[in-house]
Structure 1
Amino acid sequence: MANQVLKINDAGWLHAETFRTPMQVGVLANFTMPEDADDCYLEDLVNMWRTHKTFQPPFNYKLRGTAVPRWEVLPDEEIDLDYHLRHSAVPSPGGERELGILVSRLHAMNMDRRYPLWECHVIEGVAPGRWSLYIKVHHSQIDGVGGIRMARRMFTTDPDARGLLPPWAVGTHGVDQSGLPPKEKKTDVAVRSGGGRLGAVTGAVRSTAAIGGALARTYRESAIGSGDDLRAVPYRAPKSILNGRISKPRRFATQAYPMDRVRQVAKAADGSLNDVFLALCAGALRRYLIEIGELPKQSLTANVPVSVRAGDGAKVGNAISFLYAKIGTDIEDPVERVKAIHESTRLGKERLPKAGAGAMDIYTAGLMGPFLGQAMLGVGGIGRPASNIVISNVPGLQETRYIEGSTMEEYYPISLLFHGQALNITAVSNASMFCVGFTGCRDTLPSLQKIAVYMGEALAELEDALGVTWTA
């Protein structure tokens, strides 16, 4: 395959990119070195990785064209590894704050389209015996679920494994070095539902009808309202400080909680883990906005990405759609807030058409068309927002993972921002931990760390209201 034309949804992220809104996603993984690591451990690791000059998709893709963008697969010898792989250190004596500052700056920088659109940073000096790995890739090449599936291939479950391939030599198509047996591939339900060609045609007709009906209903209710206090639709969200024009600098903050703690709360609240996560985000935002005198009377609306990826492969490109949900920032009682969120997300899921992954690309293009159009025209963040915030919960790595004997302790997602959306909160599970990454506009949210801290306090408040006690 010499060239691959991008799907319309993937191309949209390229067309929407500006100097102040780089459209890239990333991950910050924090590791503890093995007990036998010496002072040269990280230097040796980086030097070993530099010897691997074979590249798998998307790490060997270079962008060609503008009106109709396409990926050109570069031969290995044309990729400058020294440009993409960086070895960095935070200022002594190091610390989480210094790491956050460095990653915030790295993530704010646009990637040069003359090169494959990725960077890999090995970072030392955070704490004795600790190091971090920051990787960023353009969002036109991968989404959150695809990134996790690629991570499963990159990192091993064997703490004694050595000499593993670096991320770019694994990619989406390289050797699976996880040490786990391959999962059974799932087939697109819409394609499987019929028998032979007639079934496929019937499924396509039904998918088209479902998509058309869902989009028509959504935009009708966007224009006149849904008539239901808990049913969220695009462009009916209240105006807030989160939804103006943004600047280029970023802030990044993190929080991590034991997964069993969050599950315990979800069980007590008779809701899902995602309901609780949305409620924690809402609790933190409610407190922050009250503190600065900017809480809208109407509930904030969240844009919640939903994976529509068929099978278990981490293919290049995006396979997501979106639902809208009200997150109860107008509700003081934390338990009632969870109940309201549960109902609102149920209504949001009900709106999604029953269609195969390929047809869902068309639905997503229709749903996101107005937003991407605003971004391309440079008018995002001026009128009423489609939603107030993007909140995503991505199923992550279930087992403890390692690279060259180093234990992955946390795995934090870092997302993108755009005019009209100054904050993104994304969670990923990592073994026994629930890791949350907060990506914000530095000027809009100069106290982003407060929102992260308030999320932990919102969790404690919800536990108290439910009569739940967490014991590690």
Structure 2
Amino acid sequence: MHRLTATDATHVLAESGSHISRIIDGYVFDPAGATVDRDTVLEWLTPRIEHSPVFRSVIRRVPGDLEYPYWAPATDFDLRDHVTVEPARAPGWLAVRDRIVETCTTRLPAGKPPWELLVVTGITGVDRFPDGACVVVLKMHHGVGDGMATVEFARELFAAQPLPARDGYRPVGTAGALTRALVRIPGNLVRFARGSVRAQVLGRAAARAAATGEIRTPQFRWPTTRFNRRHGGGISFDVVTLDLAEIRSLRSRHPGVAVTDVVVAVIGDAMVSYLREHGEIPNGSLGGKVSYSMRGSLDSAGTTDTAAHAGDATSGNNFVVLTVDLNTDTEDPVARLRAIHESMAAEKRRFSNPAVAELAEALDYAPAVYVDWLVWRRSRLPIGEGETVALGNTMVSNVPRKADDMRFLGGRAIESFGILGVADGTRLNHFVASVGDRLTITFAVDPDVMPDPERYAEALRRAFETVVDAHRARVEGGVGATEEGLGVVEEA
């Protein structure tokens, strides 16, 4: 029986109320004159979904959550249940955006493979798209995996040629899953007890590393803003397109700072600008939660296999959250970018510490019922009622796409975007992606706190110009940015 890990199961157990646990991964394709209708898309997809069993399987919960949910083959799988193909409702981006919002606000049906594909065809009137472009949106349950995992599934679907078919999961009935869960209870409790002791040891080791200066403990409390209160239930989003070539042009002169550092600086600047326009001045610097993929990182055993300690599953959600100081109270854009880079680098060093890295995986020792209790307890914590908020004011996710070679019905990808969910405490989130020289920042927001997203989109553009112009002026003025440790490289 292929079980979800504790980390993946959390996204299944936590889905309730206004919280919809899903990943939205979007691509814009130029179909190059190809016919795009439902029958053609279904025929094209049929051999492609055979590569990964996830597309043909369901997530089932064990009665009483005595064990983590598990994967099982879908007995009534029909590709037509998962694919929607329809023409754009009207010219322009607004009509496309509103249709995608509908996808964001609907739950994936229980008992079905946890994914859907929306294809909007015949798009016109969008300056950055050729007339006739298609937007293809892949929606997957967060229990399947994180943004990086979803991109991998997208690369399987949109490969130039279908990838080889793979075997699916073994059939497991409810009775069999329950019996297995009951048998495993003693072993799970022993594993949990050992894991708890191990977590205490790791916690002390991490504390010693912080005390000796080996790692730097970040600030975990930040001023509460309108974006950090209870979620009103709705969601809106928009995509801001920036010129990645402007960032790349600085790389040869300023080795050191990553694209993510630049984007985080832009986001922090834009957030403060928007808040000030609405008469809100944060009491201190804002903080950001920046997702950082651990794929390929060394685990505590010194290997690159990130299989969970649960025993027979590998986590699809394999990332940690860096707590980064956005330094929004630093006026000089160059100094602010340098400080953000230092904060980001310190967090990466912290999670590269063996004790901290293993401690981040401690949840995988916990029994399913304990994870269920943690989810319940967290849902009852006060949100945004005090002067400070934990971890950060917004979430930023930068997932490398490598989408230039993706194809849909022969058409090439020309733009990519992703839409993070919004929830209690995080009512404004950002997803960063790029294709070619086009970088996109997709911001998802609760419309109750941002009824005018076009103003925030403009704030992001202004902030980007400020960062680029400041670096250009510093170089043209003869100030050596290299000596200051500035620069840009293309990495997360």
User: TM-score, normalization: structure 2?
Assistant: 0.74
Matched, 1:110 2:107: yes
Matched, 1:411 2:396: no
Partner SS for 1:429: strand
Matched, 1:122 2:119: yes
Q: 2:277 aligns with which of 268, 275, 291?
A: 291
Contact kept, 8 Å, 2:2 with 2:70, in 1: the verdict is yes
**For 2:375 and 2:287, how far apart are their aligned partners in 1?**
18
What does 1:57-68 align with in structure 2 at a 5 Å threshold? 57-59=53-55, 60-65=57-62, 67=65, 68=67
Contact kept, 8 Å, 1:64 with 1:72, in 2: the verdict is no
Matched, 1:435 2:440: yes
Contact kept, 8 Å, 1:149 with 1:312, in 2: the verdict is no
Partner SS for 2:59: strand
Contact kept, 8 Å, 1:120 with 1:134, in 2: the verdict is yes
Matched, 1:131 2:134: yes
Question: What is aligned with 2:458?
Answer: 453
Contact kept, 8 Å, 1:88 with 1:123, in 2: the verdict is yes
Question: What is aligned with 2:14?
Answer: 16
Q: 1:308 aligns with which of 294, 297, 321?
A: 294
Partner SS for 2:274: helix
Deviation, 1:136, is 0.9
Matched, 1:278 2:269: no
Q: Deviations over 1:61-99 (max 9, x none)?
A: 322236233123214x5223222211233322x221111
Deviation, 1:364, is 6.9
Question: What is aligned with 1:185?
Answer: none
Question: What is aligned with 1:467?
Answer: 472
Deviates more, 1:347-356 or 1:247-256: 347-356
Q: Aligned letter for 2:261?
A: D
Contact kept, 8 Å, 2:404 with 2:412, in 1: the verdict is no
Q: Deviations over 1:143-178 (max 9, x none)?
A: 11222233333323x5xx6xx47xxx979989xxxx
Q: Aligned letter for 2:457?
A: A
Q: Aligned letter for 1:233?
A: Q
Contact kept, 8 Å, 1:210 with 1:354, in 2: the verdict is no
**For 1:212 and 1:300, how far apart are their aligned partners in 2?**
27
Deviation, 1:18, is 1.9
Contact kept, 8 Å, 1:244 with 1:381, in 2: the verdict is yes
Question: What is aligned with 1:385?
Answer: 389
Q: Aligned letter for 2:435?
A: N
**For 2:122 and 2:134, how far apart are their aligned partners in 1?**
7
**For 2:459 and 2:51, how far apart are their aligned partners in 1?**
42
Contact kept, 8 Å, 1:319 with 1:357, in 2: the verdict is no
Q: 1:153 aligns with which of 148, 152, 156?
A: 156
**For 1:443 and 1:21, how far apart are their aligned partners in 2?**
16
Matched, 1:100 2:103: no
Q: Deviations over 1:30-56 (max 9, x none)?
A: 111114x3xx43344224247558573
Q: 1:402 aligns with which of 380, 384, 407?
A: 407
Contact kept, 8 Å, 2:203 with 2:359, in 1: the verdict is no
Q: Structure 2 regions of 5+ residues with no counterpart?
A: 125-130, 170-194, 297-303, 308-313, 366-370, 476-492
Cα–Cα, structure 1 residues 279 and 33, in superposed 2: closer, same or farther, change >3 Å? same
Contact kept, 8 Å, 1:400 with 1:430, in 2: the verdict is no
Question: Kindly, what percent of the aligned residue pairs are identical?
Answer: 24
Partner SS for 2:27: strand
Question: What is aligned with 2:240?
Answer: 255
Q: Aligned letter for 2:281?
A: L
Deviation, 1:123, is 1.2
Deviation, 1:210, is 8.0
Question: What is aligned with 1:25?
Answer: 23
Contact kept, 8 Å, 1:381 with 1:421, in 2: the verdict is no
User: TM-score, normalization: structure 1?
Assistant: 0.77
Question: What is aligned with 2:76?
Answer: 78
Contact kept, 8 Å, 1:87 with 1:123, in 2: the verdict is yes
**For 1:215 and 1:107, how far apart are their aligned partners in 2?**
39
Q: Structure 1 regions of 5+ residues with no counterpart?
A: 175-203, 221-225
Cα–Cα, structure 1 residues 171 and 22, in superposed 2: closer, same or farther, change >3 Å? farther
Q: Aligned letter for 1:81?
A: L
Deviation, 1:114, is 2.7
Partner SS for 2:26: strand
**For 2:328 and 2:8, how far apart are their aligned partners in 1?**
32
Q: 2:52 aligns with which of 41, 56, 77?
A: 56
Contact kept, 8 Å, 2:288 with 2:324, in 1: the verdict is yes
Q: Aligned letter for 1:347?
A: A
Contact kept, 8 Å, 1:256 with 1:433, in 2: the verdict is yes
Deviation, 1:330, is 1.7
Contact kept, 8 Å, 1:266 with 1:273, in 2: the verdict is no
Cα–Cα, structure 1 residues 145 and 83, in superposed 2: closer, same or farther, change >3 Å? same
